[in-house]
Structures are given as structure tokens and as C-alpha cells.
Structure 1
Amino acid sequence: MEVQEAIKQRRVVRKFRPDPIPDDALYKIINSARWAPSPFNTQPWEFIIIRNQETLKKLGDAAPTAQYLVEAPLAIAVVILPINAKYPFHQEVGEPKHAGAMAVQNIMLTAWELGIGTGWATIDADKVKKILHIPIEFDVLTVIPIGYSLDRPPERMEEDRLPVDDLISFEEFNGLSEGRIIEY
């Protein structure tokens, strides 16, 4: 699968089959995450693989808008490590989290390439830290439910996306987005 094809075809999966994810597929998925860019190649992430159904249930309770987390055969918690930065500005502007988000994108695209679905669970980070025994100085970016889709997600249509010309300006902000409030 070509990268552009994976980007355009990937969907959030919310209904999973109970089939286990093979370890070789899981390692391929995590391997792609470690290649995400990060400031000064710090690789400020750790990935916790969760297969225990009781733990997944607790994590589902910590993700009020992502109850489908409980349905997945496994999940990956993306933990962001604290950085004792030579350039503290990187920490201040959230560079470690940005790098983690790029690792998540790699996870999702690689899983999709392998025929495996994923989702993004918006979580209560403090609750997730308690459930997974993560020290307070670490951050939890998300918990990604992973599994084979129970049904085929709907096709994404070109008209579902804003036109490129509505998203770009050159050299300075030109007000294209003024008044556009994101609602969901």
C-alpha cells in the first residue's frame, strides 16, 4: 500500500472482532512508531501494550467518549517521557507531545496497512496513570484501541474533506479560517 493510499483510506474503527493481533504485526506497528521524528532524536515515548480485558475495561471508563476501547483485543498507551532539555523551549511548546502524535500517526497508518483498525481515545490522563501505574512526571497522550474491524468502515469521499485552497495561505495568515468554529 502506498503512503497516500493509506492516508486517504484509513478510518477510525470502533467495532472490533475478538481475534488476537499477532505479535509480529504488533512489533511491526511499534517499529514504525519509533521512526517518528522527535526533537534532537530524543524519542520521548514509551508504549504500553494492554491485552488484559479487565484493564481495558478500566481504561474504557477513563475514556468517556471512547467506550469502544473495551471492545478492542488490545490497546497501546502512548506515554510521553519528561525531557530535561538543553533547550527548555522544546518542552514548553509541547515538542515531546507533538513527537508522540507523529508516532501515533505511524502506528495508525502501519496498522491500517496490515489490515488492522485503530482509534484515538481521548482519555483522562490522571486516571490512566493510576490504572497503569505511570509516574506523575510522565504524560499520557492517548490510548489507541487496536484490532480487526468487525465491519467495513464507510468509504471516505473527497467531498468529506475541505478543499486544499480553503486550508492554505502564503507568506501570512489571510483569514481563511476566521469565523470557522470547529464543532463536534
Structure 2
Amino acid sequence: MEFFEVLKRRRSIRRFQDKPVPREVIEKLLEAAFLSPSSYNKRPWHFIVVDDKEKLEALSRAKLGASGLKTAPVAIVVTADERKSDVWVEDASIVAEHIHLASYDLGLGSFWVQIRNRMHDGTKSAEEYVRELLGIPENYRVLCIVGVGYPAENKPPHGDEVFEWEKVSHDEFGRGFR
């Protein structure tokens, strides 16, 4: 599929068919992640592929807005070693976006569950919750979870409303580009 078509058509999907994602397809998603750029090529990331139904159910309770993970046949937890890179957030964010774009290109749907700087409940952060659930070492920070599967919902492609040219300046802030 042509790249700009992928960008226009990819939408967040939070309801999935009860159909497993083949391991070869998951490996392709991880290949897309490995092809991500990172600062000084430090590649601080580590991925946890979760397809166990009980763990997916538990992950769906990590924070408000994660419930779509209940129907996802697979989730990719994106973590990064903060000791390896002071820009691990940026590096891991690029990785997650690569997974999203590759998911759509492979006929899958996906959605982002923000974990970093979110709360599980009144006393525990979502990151602490996920770290405990999956046995993640302290030096690995949890950025997000990408829920992936075959879509059980259809959304229209993005239209011209996404082109907010008023948010583009030329040579200095506030000087219109168009």
C-alpha cells in the first residue's frame, strides 16, 4: 500500500475480532519496530508481546482507556532502558508509531494505550501496575501498550479536517505558512 494512503486510512481500533494474529505477522510488526531510528542508534527498547488472555484482561485494567485490550488478541508493551538513553521517550514513541503503521499495512487494527505518566488507581501508577504484572526491571520504563488485532469495527479515513494549516508558521511563530 502506498505510504500516504496508510497514513490517511490508519485509525485507532479498539474492538477486535476473536481471531489470533499469526506469529509471522507479529514478527513483521517487531521487524518494523526494529527498523525505527533512535538517538545515536542506542536502541534502548525492549518489547513484551502479550497474547495470554488473562494477562490481556489484566492489562485492560492498567488505566482508564485500556479496556480495548480485553478484545485484542495481542498487545505489544513498549519499554525502554532509561540508563541507555536520556531520550528513551522519543525513541520508544517512534517505535510505537512504526508498529501502528505496520499493523495497518498488514491488515490489522491497533490502538495506543498511554502508560507513562498515567495512574492505575489513586495510589499506584499505571507504569507500576504493568511493571509488577509483567516482571519488568526498574531501569526499563513503560511508555505504552499497543493493542493489535483484526478489526471488528470500521472507521472512515481521515479527511481534509486534519490539515490544520493555521498551526504551521513560516520562519517565525505566528507567520502563516499558507
The bucket for the TM-score relative to the shorter chain is 0.7 to 0.9
- TM-score with structure 2 length normalisation? 0.88
| Percentage of matched positions with identical amino acids | 30
- Further displaced range: 102-111 or 166-175: 166-175
Which residue is equivalent to 1:33?
33
Which residue is equivalent to 1:158?
160
Which residue is equivalent to 1:146?
148
Q: Is the CA contact 2:50–2:75 (under 8 Å) kept in the aligned structure 1?
A: yes
Q: Offset at 1:70?
A: 1.1
Counterpart check, 1:96 vs 2:72: no
Counterpart check, 1:112 vs 2:104: yes
Number of residue pairs aligned between Structure 1 and Structure 2? 166
Quick one: structure 1 residues 170 and 71, their matched pair in 2 at CA, closer, same or farther if it must change by over 3 Å?
Answer: same
- Further displaced range: 120-129 or 44-53: 120-129
Which residue is equivalent to 1:128?
130
Q: Is the CA contact 2:15–2:68 (under 8 Å) kept in the aligned structure 1?
A: yes
Which residue is equivalent to 1:52?
52
Q: Which runs of 4+ in 1 moved over 4 A?
A: none
The alignment partner of 1:47 has SS state of: strand
The alignment partner of 2:114 has SS state of: coil
Q: Offset at 1:105?
A: 0.8
Quick one: structure 1 residues 135 and 116, their matched pair in 2 at CA, closer, same or farther if it must change by over 3 Å?
Answer: same
**Which runs of 5 or more residues in structure 2 are unaligned?**
116-125
Q: As a proportion of its length, which structure holds more strand?
A: 2
Q: Distance in 2 between matches of 1:20 and 1:136?
A: 31
The alignment partner of 1:14 has SS state of: coil
Q: Offset at 1:61?
A: 0.7
Q: Distance in 2 between matches of 1:45 and 1:73?
A: 22
